[in-house]
Amino acid sequence: MRGPHNIIRLIRTGATLERTGAMGVIMDAMDAPPLVRGTLRFLAWPFQWLGLKGDPNMPPATRALTALGPAYIKFGQILSTRPDLVGDELATQMRVLQDKLPPFDIDVAKASIEQELGQPIEAMFDDFSPPVAAASIAQVHKATLRKTGDSVAVKVLRPGIERAFRVDIDAFYFAANMIEFLSPAARRLHPTEVIAHFEGVVMGELDLRLEASSASEFASNTTGDAGFQLPGIQWDHCSRRVMTMDWADGAPLGDNAAIDAAGHDRVVLGDRVLQLFLSHALRDGYFHADMHQGNLKVAPNGNIIAYDFGIMGHIDEYTRRVYAEILYGFIKRDYRRVAEVHFEAGYVPANRDVDEFARALRAVGEPIFGMDASQISMGSLLSYLFEVTERFGMETRTELILLQRTMVVVEGVARSLNPQINIWQVARPVVEDYIRQSLGPRALAQSLGRTAMVLSRFGPRLPQLVESALIRASAPTPEPPRRRRRDLAVCGVSGAILGAGVLAACLALL
């Protein structure tokens, strides 16, 4: 399906944004440069008739993203957590994309559940409510288990959701290929690899058995975390398209009025949500990678409750140490060390100047210190950081995409609770604790011990392994096959440029 016909989907993306009025709204909110704004509007205008109408009762941006489908809704969910990037008004409008989308019919949901679990609804549940939440991929019903009388949340996938995502992902692949074809400078960002990574994440999210397994592993890792809890999984009521978990009562983390009315301290909650994410990422290397307000609640006892475990992130121990050293260097304002870590990890080509890179990083980090969050333009910081990475030839690290994206989302959630939060001050104790545990003498001794164990197991085979490696290294490298260029119809090139331009920003966040 990844052929030139996807150009129609990309044209429709730009046309829908223009037809619904979302193009101007999003460009205004993100303060797009006049040249970018004018070019996109000029290219989109002739194709307006191809755009989807959407629901005219919705605001323009929400209307457009909802009409375009689940992958675009995911993009809107991310924007809804970043009022500092898109403004309070647009962020509030897009928040309905988190869990307040139009639901599908309850009878369709019941039929799907009965088919998946092999029993009538009445045999499994005493009560089965209308949808209580509806998101881009699934919707949730509240029910009561017949066997135990416990209240549960029953999650069921939307009908046809697999095909809908397949269409969007194919179009994204085409857009990524066009970006690489039209802009050789963008190849360092590996847009095709980014989409491949996104595809793997989404395909995992469409199997609810994997989500149940992720929830179970996450619960095992976080049992001792103060102020944090997860709902239990009802394994006998789970399948590929259905997942059942304990019902979690609490105030939505995106409803500040409800949080205040319940007597919770939003400053404490803002600090906690950021520290929990960093703790899970650094300590465990396994973290909730979709931590927007629609997936978080505050329990009556003040605990943060997380649910919806379709997207989980994993980073290996070496990458965690690199990430921690970079964060710690920024916290200590040791930009020379931050630069050295980038070079040591291979994130920056070795032929670049480390001192010059350190000075560039200082220009990114220094504005953060001594200022409250309301004075910091994250849009300006991200824009300058992108210029720095381009200047020094840094390439996209696909293993860090979820970590970076989730950090953006979590920071947005924390800011919505406490606009004055200083992310570096809040992050400091977690990062320092990880540094002590993982980079100190004890950690070094543990690493040497693990290395010795590996050597003891493979000791007799080491000469053979070394000889094989040397033979492979000395073998001539075969010529890589030439990349085939897709034949593009002349009449479709302007549409491809439009689609690639509109989606380039989306792909970076997705």
φ, ψ dihedrals at 310, nearest 5°:
-70, -30
Q: Which has the closest alpha carbon to 291: 327, 253, 259, 260?
A: 253
Contacts of 458 (CB under 8 A, 6+ apart): 465
Token output for 496: 């491809």
Token output for 414: 């924390």
Contacts of 336 (CB under 8 A, 6+ apart): 354, 355, 358
Beta strands in 393-435 (DSSP E): none
Q: Which has the closest alpha carbon to 381: 87, 92, 84?
A: 84
What CA–CA distance (Å, rounded) separates 289 from 282? 13
Decide: residue 432, CB within 10 A, 0-12 exposed, 13-18 middle, 19+ buried: middle
Q: How many CB atoms are located within 10 Å of the residue 226 CB? A: 7
Q: Which has the closest alpha carbon to 231: 242, 240, 219, 239?
A: 219
Decide: residue 477, CB within 10 A, 0-12 exposed, 13-18 middle, 19+ buried: exposed
What CA–CA distance (Å, rounded) separates 55 from 97? 13
Q: Which has the closest alpha carbon to 10: 58, 54, 72, 59?
A: 72
φ, ψ dihedrals at 245, nearest 5°:
-140, 165
Three-class HEC string of 278-312: HHHHHHHCEEECCCCHHHEEECCCCCEEECCCCCE
Token output for 429: 């104790």
What CA–CA distance (Å, rounded) separates 157 from 160? 9
Token output for 294: 């629609």
Sign (positive/negative) of CA torsion 362, 363, 369, 370?
positive
Annotated catalytic residue 105: no
What CA–CA distance (Å, rounded) separates 436 from 138? 42
Catalytic residue among 290, 308, 316, 433: 290
Token output for 136: 């881009």
Q: How many CB atoms are located within 10 Å of the residue 273 CB? A: 27
> Catalytic residues, which ones?
290
